[in-house]
A and B are shown apart, each in its own frame.
Chain A
Amino acid sequence: MSGFDLSAILKDPAYVGMLLHGVEMTFVIFAGSWLLAMTLAITLLSIRFSPFRLGEYFVSAYVSYHRNVPTLVQLMLWYFGIFTLMPDGLTSWLSAHNAETIFAIVGLGLCQAAYFSEDLRSGLRSVSSGQMEAAKALGHGYLSAMRFVILPQGVRNALPPIINHSVSLFKNSSLAIIIGAPELTHAVKEIENLSFRTFEIYVIGTVLYLFFSLLIMGAGAYLSLRADPVQRARA
Chain B
Amino acid sequence: MITDIITIIQDYWLLLLIGQYPNGPLGGLVNTLILSALSISLAFPISILFALARLSKWRLLRWPVTALVYVTRGVPLLMLVLWSYFLVPLLTGADVPSFLTMLTTLVIYQGAFLSEVVRGGILTLGHGQMEAAKALGHSYLGAMRFIILPQALYNMIPSIISTFVSTIKDTTIGYVINVPDLTFAASQVNNQLLTQPFQVFLILALVYYVICWSLTQVANVIERRITRRRAGVARAAAATLAPSKILSEQP
Contacts and interface: CB of A to CB of B under 8 A. Distances in A.
Interface in B153-198: 165, 168-170, 172-173, 175-176, 183, 187, 190, 197-198
Contact of A77 (B169, B176, B205): B205
Given A68-B213, A70-B208, A80-B197, A198 B86 contact: yes
Interface string A192-235: 00000011001001100110011001000000000000000000
A185 B78 contact: yes
Contacts of A214: 70, 74
Interface of A: 64-65, 67-74, 76-77, 80-82, 84-85, 167, 171-175, 177-178, 185, 188-189, 198-199, 202, 205-206, 209-210, 213-214, 217
Contacts of B175: 72, 178
Contacts of B222: none
Nearest to A174: B76
B76 A172 contact: yes
Contacts of A206: 71, 75, 79, 83
A56 to B, nearest CB: 18
Nearest to B198: A81
Nearest to B171: A70
Nearest to A68: B212
B169 A71 contact: yes
A72 B71 contact: no
Interface in B36-75: 70-71, 73-75
B78 A174 contact: yes
B75 A73 contact: no
A188 B86 CA distance: 13
B96 to A, nearest CB: 15
Contacts of A167: 74
A231 to B, nearest CB: 21
Given A70-B169, A178-B175, A64 B197 contact: no
Contacts of A189: 82
B13 to A, nearest CB: 18
A215 to B, nearest CB: 10
Given A202-B83, A206-B79, A70 B197 contact: no
Nearest to B208: A69
B78 A177 contact: yes
Contact of B79 (A76, A198, A199, A202): A202
B201 A81 contact: yes
17 contacts: A64-B209, A69-B208, A71-B169, A72-B172, A80-B190, A81-B202, A171-B77, A172-B76, A173-B76, A174-B79, A175-B78, A185-B82, A199-B86, A205-B79, A209-B75, A209-B76, A209-B79
